[in-house]
Amino acid sequence: MKIVFVTDLHGEIWKYDRLLKAARNFGADTVINGGDMLPKTGNLFDQDKFITGYLEKHFKKAAELGISYLCYLGNDDLRIFDDFFERTCEKYRGVIDLGQRKYDIGKYEFIGMNWVVDYPFRLKDRCRMDTKDYAFQMQFGTGLLSTPDGFEELPDWFTTARTLPTIEDELNRLPKPTTMSRSIYVIHMPPYRLGLDRCGNGSEVGSKAIYNFLERNQPLLSLHGHIHESPETSGRWHANLGNTLCIQPGQLTPFTYVTIDLQAMEFDRHIEYF
């Protein structure tokens, strides 16, 4: 089985176009798109226009190529569009919204999660405390949640967040694989301690709960994104956590993706310029 894994495309059409070319050239049967799929510039409430105006064609083409396409929205993609996104995926054969779901291809089991650990940014649609004892970062302003009528302001986000399940809780709620050693977790948020979570300013913001979950359960692979600059900042795009290989391709100006050959257990990171 051959996979192309990409993440954090944020609506960049030329990268989406290259993605299907890369999948074809590699002979991939599966594409994994690890979240933050929609444009984050301009009015976020227009993100559905990217789904209708571009993603539909992209999904159709993947389906025509016979490529399975596992994906989900990310923390910069408004939650009010989740249902619309899911219904769009369902229209195309092999296109799967993997958020908080399990999907099997052959003997491999894919499980997705797109909740993220809270950050200083205002949009809180997919934010959670990492664990019950999580210490919040300084905030850039009051929290915001998307609603069909615009943003709802959260005057006391910390109090709201304490009422929500933590990342640790969300991981425990995920569907369980039959065979952990053949499962691949697609988790937008990276784990801590492995150099996959390093921001441009040097701070490491990864999830302790995700690290502990992977260390305890030992899936075959875990695929992450979210901190676009981390591979360039830390010099690492993969790390071992026991028998689990954790991959975080990053995504800066060039188109960046990872090819995975599961039979050969070969992994390569590719960087292509416009």
Residues lying near Zn ion in the complex (CB under 5 A) are found at: 8, 36
Residues 6+ apart with CB under 8 A from 21: none
Detail the DSSP E strand segments found in the chain: 2-6, 30-33, 68-71, 95-97, 102-105, 108-113, 116-117, 127-128, 143-147, 150-154, 183-187, 221-223, 238-241, 244-247, 255-261, 266-272
Contact 188, 75 (CB under 8 A): yes
Shortest reach from residue 242's CB to Zn ion, in Å: 27
Rounded Cα–Cα distance for residues 209 and 112 (Å) = 15
Give the Å distances, CA to CA, from 190 to 88, 99, 128, 224, 254: 27, 16, 14, 5, 21
Comparing CB distances to Zn ion, the nearer of 12 and 56 is 12
Comparing CB distances to Zn ion, the nearer of 8 and 170 is 8
Shortest reach from residue 227's CB to Zn ion, in Å: 8
Q: Work out the angle at residue 60's Cα, subtended by the Cα atoms of residues 59 and 66, and round it to the nearest 5 degrees.
A: 90
* Alpha-carbon 238 to chain mean position: 15
Enclosing H/E stretch for 21: helix 13-26
Task: Give the residue among 65, 78, 170 at the shortest CA–CA distance from 117.
Answer: 170
Comparing CB distances to Zn ion, the nearer of 9 and 145 is 9
Comparing CB distances to Zn ion, the nearer of 37 and 194 is 37
Using Cβ positions, the residue closest to Zn ion within the complex turns out to be: 36
Comparing CB distances to Zn ion, the nearer of 29 and 36 is 36
Comparing CB distances to Zn ion, the nearer of 8 and 97 is 8
Shortest reach from residue 74's CB to Zn ion, in Å: 6
Shortest reach from residue 188's CB to Zn ion, in Å: 8
